[in-house]
Structure 1
Amino acid sequence: MSASLAAPAPPASPRLARLWQGLAVFGPYAPLVMMVLVGLVLLSASRLGLMAWQWERVSATGLAGQMLLQGVRVDLIQLGLLALPPLLLAPFLATAPAWPLWRRLTWLWAILAITLLVFLELATPGFVGEYDSRPNRLFVEYLKYPREVSAMLWGGFRLHVLAGLSFTALAAWAMSRLMRPWLAEPRRGKHWQLWLSWPFVFLLVAFAIRSTTDHRPANPAMFALTADPMVNSLILNSAWSVAHAVYNLKHEAESGAVYGEMPVEEMLATVAAARGAEGLTSVSAALPELPTLSRLLPSRPRARPLNLVIVLEESLGATFVESLGGLPVTPELEKLKEQGWWFEQLYATGTRSVRGIEAVTTGFPPTPAQSVVKLSLSQTGFFSLADLLGRRGYHTEFIYGGESHFDNMRSFFKGNGFERVIDEKDYQAPVFTGSWGVSDEDLFNRAHQEITAHHAAGKPFFTLIFTSSNHSPFEFPDGRIELYDEEKGTENNAVKYADYALGRFFEQARASAYWQDTVFLVVADHDIRTKGDSLIPVERFHIPGLILGADIEPRRIRTVASQIDLPVTVLSLMGIEADTPMLGRDLSREAADAPGRAMMQYEQHYGWMEGQRLVILRPEKEPAHAVYDPAAKRLALATEPPADAAELERRALAHVLLPSWLYREQRYRLPDERTPARTAGPAGSGAMRATGG
């Protein structure tokens, strides 16, 4: 054994020495017991602090005491997971020959474990403030983009970062001091005592991890005690929240299974029956491997179809649009809405940019999994507007002000029909560059140049423009707008600047030759912060949407609509006749008084809204029913399910299972043009069941 492992520890204080004398009864398990005790105190104190901070929402549930008790149960699960690796080594290392190694290993393990718990708990208030939840999958995903995230944190959260790192270092030092006497602890007892006790200790830890005698071990859904997802997340601890998110990443292909099962044929029939059929003719009988393939007959046939420009606005929720019940920080958008089709009840499918990209560029519905922009099976051969229009001779491009590799955008776009990607490195002498790339001014100036060149060359084009100025830490050039808030770097000022840049772009576009030959879609990817005290904060999914350009006349679209309806609708207005697998409705053919429908994925909750009625699917729980009041922006849970609850739940389940199944089976694509149509049996055997996987 090396001298470093066998070296005695410095003497500890008398009080600390007495504490370890008391722990001596636990023999070789003493450092793990210390880790558990410290962890319980630390995590409970953190939970108390978070509950006090969010007391208004916590007290509204009336479950504060139960939250604390269930929180201890969650903490035991996490601490059991942390104790398990060294415990598995105990029969081999907690013996006399390896005792110095066991002491050093468990000393280091306990320090690292507590330091990790402290770090994640210190990161929690900032994450809750930004995303209304404890750290989750998003926390892990952002680790893949250190440049963008570090710039954002340093630019907007510098004091938080420095304080967090300082307290984390302090916790590591304090835990090392607390654990110091263990390094001098002699081995007590006989080998047979260790081997006899080990199975009982192992079973105790295993039960703590499982935390239930039910057929399934405990999971976050078991601790969802309230209708407020943020409050439910406080019951957890951040280490377990992140660990469970990472664990679920390997089950992405089976994500829909958390809500239930349905035979494939029933799922396909249910979705087909719920879809607006006017202007759409199914062609899946000739191509049964593509069961959602339908022919779109445009509502405005044209000898020469129009060009398409989609402006995807970062985080521009209805909360920033005065005519939609928000703040008066988008005056340019308010002017533009008088010039085209304005959507009054348009809802995002999710809460992240990639979810908005997924819906608007591919028409793909949301699932509990990551967006298909990030998933492996959709990196090539997946349907997109760029693929469809590229096959018709359109030049297709994506224009962004930041690094296009972020959120895997470049890979997804290049693999699915976009010929060209323009990002931060392609701008010469930009007006302004911030943490997330060049300003929206630079972005739109470049887009205007590119579009003008395409039109002058006589080549049809599809251009996707994705803004980024409205993103924390909210950086933009000076002297452009009259600030809404006194402090410059706020979301309200960033939105107002983004709106200013949008207005300038459309001034240029309207005065340009390409205006009369182009349909423009302006839509948000999601709201800036999707949070609320309801199972699904529907008001935070409400986003603006506008179609204008060419011969598009002013119109108000009052039906409930989803982002996945937009690509179908713009194709119809462009005059494109095409076969597509998209499930969206052609809103250019929709009756003005139609109730409409929308779908929303919020963490593990899936919302299906028809008119003002909403059914919410939840993992391992019965579906909840509610009514949404768009005027009051409030969701009211129903005390009793409606008479047609079973039908609503069936439609919701079919629509959340289908996209997972289409993704896994790779059936959301255009037919290979080299393969002739053929006839065959049904798309899925009745014996199969759609579970999302």
Structure 2
Amino acid sequence: MRKNSVKDLFIATCGKLIGLSVLVGFVLRIVLLFNDQTEVAFPLVGWLEIFFLGIANDLCVGIIACFFIWLNLIFWSEGKYGKPWGYLIWGALVLGFCYVKFFNTIFNEYGGGASKIAAGFLGFKVISFGLRLFMPVLRKPWRKIEYYLLVFIYVTAILLNAVSEYYFWNEFGVRYNFIAVDYLIYTTEVIGNIFESYPMLPLMTALFVVSALVTWVLTRKTGKVFGALPCFFTKLKVTVVYGVSVLLGIGLLNFNTVFQTSDNVYVNELQSNGIFRFYAAFMNNELDYHKFYQTLPADEAVAMMNRFYRSDGRCNTYRIKDSLPEIHKNVVLITVESLSASYLSRYGNTDGITPYIDKLMEESLVFNKVYAAGNRTVRGLEAVTLCIPPSPGQSIIKRPDNANLFSTGLVLKERGYSVQYFYGGNSYFDNMETFFSGNDYEIVDKKSFTPEEITFSNIWGVCDEDMYRKALSVLGQDAALGKPFFAHIMTVSNHRPFTYPGGKIDIPENSKSRKGGVKYTDYALGRFIEEAKKQPWFENTVFVITADHCASSAGKTEIPLEKYHIPAMIYAPGFVQPGEINTLVSQIDLMPTLFGLLHFSYESRFYGQNILDPDYVSRALVATYQSLGYWEDGILTILSPVKRAEQFRVIEGAGEDIELEPLEQKDTEKLNRAIMNYQTIGGWMKVKTYRARL
């Protein structure tokens, strides 16, 4: 490198960092190919796309990511320290720091640790700029230190991102997506979960050591360029060249997305760049159905809905009239965190990790083919609370203006029930507190516990046993009031880091294994039911037990159906006869079925239907945050953005094995039914008409 050539330093640094980014991305793809989540069955063109397009995508992201290197070059100047500019800049930094530190700002509204990060950054800039402003001798060594530190941060970020992508893929089988965006918001729980789940101290120590060595290799021949600063025209030329490169990179990244729509999800995911996928998910957290998906003429969609649901067209309103008197039994709805059907002996598991649930199913009305609406907790809560198809983008629970909706809690509250939502963690997570309180649920979460009521907790909340003990106490108080109660309990223990009290099950509490989490969850549920049997209100209570979603949603297809199969049962000795229903049903049908068993007559707007009704149409609605599935009569229809629609014949094999065979000729009736369901609910939610009562 020529002496005093700041421009050459910038070019060389960017080139090295971009090269490192591409190399790490290449190695990461190889690692992910051999991950247990990945099913490698690609044609030659798939392999070419993964590596050649993958390198191109990494190259583009690497160029764009050099923004802070460019910014650092632009602000290498002595002029900013002169009067009056230096004092004005420093004063603005001080005011900015005070504003963020002591006032309510957009960073506080964003949530998580955003306000602390912003305050820390501005505080650092106040001190660092002030030192250079008032002590000129520090400016040259400061620039040198700043340069090395910036390169170190870049190297660390590149390596840390690779490690993060590996663990994210290991959990979800995809690059960063909408889940990662959600996790960014709830930094306390997520960072706590990471530190409880993984050996972070040795991992981060190794990462910093490797980053320091790589930084030394990349910067050991930088030359003595920190004294001679670039002139205006040098900065201008570098800015023009860099700006054009960024525009080309953005254009190529967007163009390459057309190659990420193949039938093999793994090819699509592996060729993409995780950081760009994160950005795309962040920008598309709410997808307008009418803008991005296939639609029918509005009148035609409503007419189809009226025929299918026997409704009158007013926001899917229809009258359910039972010939028998209503039975106002207590209702306890338990949604178990991440309880895949594949964990149960009933569905082929041989590990014996759900002995109580397996036994309880023999005494319950069991629905053997229930499929979850989505792959997040908020989707499961939405399915059993609102009983509507999953919406693209954010769940209704996480959207603004989601109060006073037509819900299962409303149906029960109108009958004099006390309506409560129990959650072992802090219910602000995933916007649960806002949603449930806005729909007239009383919330009992971790904030409601006294210290004596907590025997064990992790970052997600108190253990399931503590939650159930709290529920028993509150329900006893409810029963004493002489009116029926509805308790919706959401568990937390079957979640990474899978920690739980010791001495409860035969899997050590420090194993941090999924099997341990499942077995402890089963144990705690068993204790709850057995204790409930001792309560005077037990004989007058119906228990609905299901999962919020499966433990994993990774698969080689957009919607791997076997990863949506969840257990579900209704348990009420002496009231609901044990038996099994082998019809395909949706998670949104469970609560309307319960209302049928209780002989409720009401004006409904649920898309969920009574499974036991002779006119019930067997179907399941399953979705990711952007792919919307409708499964009926052995045909799965998937609606995707860019108004794309695909259909597959569902071939069910032994156990949980399900294969999807592309349909050569579209089934128009099934396609239209899929569109009708998602289009109408999307339209009514958009114009805010799906309210408690019209």
User: CA 1:268–1:111 in structure 2 vs 1: closer, same or farther (change >3 Å)?
Assistant: farther
Deviations 1:510-552 (Å, cap 9, x if unpaired)? 4443233322210100111222223321111000000121611
Q: Could you tell me how far apart the structure 2 residues matched to 1:516 and 1:414 are?
A: 29
- 1:70 corresponds to which of 53, 61, 65: 53
Letter of the structure 2 residue corresponding to residue 142 of structure 1 = Y
Residue 691 (structure 2) aligns with: 669
CA displacement 1:537-574 (0-9 Å, x = unmatched): 11110000001216111232111111111121122222
- How much does 1:225 deviate? 3.9
| Contact persistence 1:440–1:498 (CA under 8 A) | yes
State the alpha-carbon separation in 2 of the partners of residues 572 and 394 from structure 1: 17
Q: Note if contact 1:257-1:657 (Cα within 8 Å) is conserved in structure 2.
A: no
Q: How does 1:53-64 map to 2 (within 5 A)?
A: 53=35, 57-62=39-44, 63-64=46-47
Residues 376 and 189 of structure 1: CA distance in aligned 2, closer, same or farther (over 3 Å): closer
The aligned residue for residue 5 of structure 1 is none
Q: Deviations over 1:440-466 (max 9, x none)?
A: 222222222322332232112111111
Which residue does 1:138 correspond to in 2?
179
Say which of 216, 220, 223 aligns to 2:260.
Answer: 223
Q: State the partner residue of 1:657.
A: 679
SS of equivalent residue, structure 2 residue 646: strand
1:478 pairs with one of 491, 497, 502: 502
Alignment CA distance shift 1:59-1:94 (3 Å):
farther
* 1:353 to partner: Cα distance: 0.8
1:305/1:575 contact within 8 Å kept: no
Q: Distance in 1 between matches of 2:470 and 2:9?
A: 69
Is structure 2 residue 478 aligned with structure 1 residue 454? yes
Q: Structure 1 398/60 Cα, relative in aligned 2: closer, same or farther at 3 Å?
A: same
Among 344, 347, 361, the residue aligned to 1:337:
361
What amino acid maps onto 2:260 in structure 1? F
Name the counterpart of 2:562: 539
Quote the offset at 1:55 in angstroms: 9.8
Q: Which residue of 1 aligns with 2:335?
A: 312
Answer yes or no: is the 8 Å Cα contact 1:559–1:595 preserved in 2. Answer: no
TM-score, normalised to structure 1, is 0.81
CA distance in 2, matches of 1:560, 1:71: 40
Contact 1:474 1:494 in 2 (8 A): yes
Structure 1 residue 235, shift from structure 2 partner: 1.6
Distance in 1, matches of 2:516 and 2:37, equals 29
Whether contact under 8 Å (2:554, 2:563) holds in the other structure is yes
Q: List per-residue Cα deviations over 1:207-232 (Å, max 9, x = no partner).
A: 221117xxxx33756424452x3453
**Cα distance, 1:509–1:120 mapped onto 2, change above 3 Å:** same
Shift of 1:253: 5.0
Q: Within the alignment, does 1:441 sit opposite 2:424 as a pair?
A: no
Aligned-CA RMSD value:
3.5
Superposition deviation, residue 306 in structure 1: 2.4
Matched, 1:245 2:268: no
Contact 1:107 1:182 in 2 (8 A): no
Q: Which amino acid aligns with 1:547?
A: I
Deviates more, 1:252-261 or 1:191-200: 191-200
* Residue among 234, 257, 269 paired with 2:270: 234
1:687 alignment partner in structure 2: none
Instruction: Give the whole-Å Cα distance in 2 for the aligned partners of 1:406 and 1:371.
Output: 13
Q: Rate the CA distance shift 1:49–1:367 in 2: closer, same or farther, 3 A.
A: same
Residue aligning to 2:446: 423
Match of 1:175 in 2: 215
Q: CA deviation at 1:140?
A: 3.0
- Note if 1:627 corresponds to 2:649: yes
Q: Closer, same or farther in 2 for the Cα pair 1:446/1:639, shift >3 Å?
A: closer
Corresponding residue for residue 614 of structure 1:
636
Structure 1 gaps, min length 5: 1-16, 673-693
Residues 189-268 of structure 1 mapped to structure 2, 5 A cutoff: 199=240, 201-211=242-252, 217-218=254-255, 220=257, 222-227=259-264, 229-249=265-285, 252=286, 254=288, 257-268=291-302
Residue by residue over 1:422-456, the C-alpha shift from the partner in whole angstroms, topping out at 9 and shown as x without a partner, is 43541533343334322222222222232233223
Cα distance change, pair 183–241 in 1 and its aligned pair in 2 (3 A): farther
2:98 maps to none
Moved more, 76-85 or 385-394: 76-85
Amino acid aligned to 2:344: V
1:176-221 per-position Cα deviation (integer Å, ceiling 9, x unaligned): 7624727716879996687578656533431221117xxxx33756
Distance of 2:483 and 2:591 partners within structure 1: 21
Paired position in structure 2 for 1:414: 437
Contact 2:330 2:541 in 1 (8 A): yes
Q: Which moved more, 1:464-473 or 1:510-519?
A: 510-519
For residues 568-579 of structure 1, the aligned pairs below 5 Å read 568-579=592-603
Distance 1:209 1:253 in 2: 22
Matches within 5 A, 1:272-671: 272-275=306-309, 277=310, 282-284=311-313, 288=314, 291-298=315-322, 301-327=324-350, 328-378=352-402, 380-423=403-446, 425-427=448-450, 428-483=452-507, 488-549=511-572, 551-590=575-614, 596-620=618-642, 622-632=644-654, 633-642=656-665, 644-671=666-693
Counterpart check, 1:152 vs 2:135: no
Quote the residue 1:682 is aligned against. Answer: none
Equivalent position SS for 1:647: helix
Could you tell me whether the CA contact under 8 Å between 2:3 and 2:224 is conserved in 1? Answer: no
**What CA deviation, in whole Å up to 9, does each residue of 1:362-408 have, x standing for no partner?**
11321221211111121x22222223322332111112222222222
Q: Distance in 2 between matches of 1:104 and 1:377?
A: 49
Contact 2:63 2:249 survives alignment (8 Å): yes
Q: Report percent identity of matched pairs.
A: 27
Match of 1:12 in 2: none
User: 1:47 corresponds to which residue?
Assistant: 29
Say whether the 8 Å CA contact 1:474–1:491 is kept in structure 2: yes
Q: Distance in 1 between matches of 2:357 and 2:175?
A: 34
Deviation larger for 498-507 or 613-622? 613-622
Report if aligned partners of 2:372, 2:587 keep a CA contact under 8 Å in 1: yes
Q: What is the distance in 1 between the residues matched to 2:687 and 2:216?
A: 52
The 2-side partners of 1:396 and 1:620 are apart by 41
> How far is 1:337 from its partner?
1.8
Query: Structure 2 vs 1, CA of residues 595 and 61 (structure 1 numbering), >3 Å: closer, same or farther?
Result: farther
* TM-score (norm: length of structure 2): 0.81
Contact 1:521 1:546 in 2 (8 A): yes
Letter in 2 for 1:242: F
Whole-angstrom distance in 2 between the partners of 1:169 and 1:264: 61
Q: CA deviation at 1:163?
A: 1.0
CA shift in 2, pair 1:186/1:489, >3 Å: closer
Structure 2 runs not aligned, ≥5 long: 81-138
Q: Does structure 2 retain, via aligned residues, the 8 Å contact 1:256–1:368?
A: no
1:254 Cα offset (Å): 1.7
